[in-house]
Homo-oligomer: A and B are copies of this chain.
């Protein structure tokens, strides 16, 4: 059994990430989390170019996100992502966002994903070896 895959991505807050309340917009955090999640999927063996070919895509089926503290223009953010749990037909990833060099969690998020064959939209079982390799506790 391997250690659960994990990964950190980095973002600098741009104008398009903020809104007129002066802080990062709630949708922008989820876009940053998608970048982290996609690179995490790469660690699990899914690569973007391959998906475009096979049209077997990881699809978000549930998101839970808590916005605790706001990030601001120019902040350097770290997004820590990990595989949290593998079920038969879905897997859960967890994410935490912090300003670089700080321990304060700005945003925490969990997402469940399924593997879906397009264009039929039919969900697929996850590879059998995932549960063996990454047995979530």
Contacts and interface: CB of A to CB of B under 8 A. Distances in A.
Contacts of A20: 15, 18-20, 22-23, 52, 72-73
A52 B67 contact: no
Given A20-B19, A65-B62, A65-B63, A52 B26 contact: no
Contact of A27 (B16, B18, B68): B16
A74 interface: yes
Give the copy number: 4
- Interface of chain A: mostly helix, strand, loop or mixed: mixed
Interface string A48-63: 1101100101011111
A73 B51 contact: yes
24 contacts: A14-B35, A15-B19, A15-B21, A15-B25, A15-B38, A16-B19, A16-B31, A18-B19, A18-B20, A19-B19, A20-B23, A26-B34, A27-B34, A30-B30, A47-B74, A48-B74, A49-B74, A51-B74, A52-B72, A52-B74, A61-B67, A62-B64, A62-B65, A64-B64
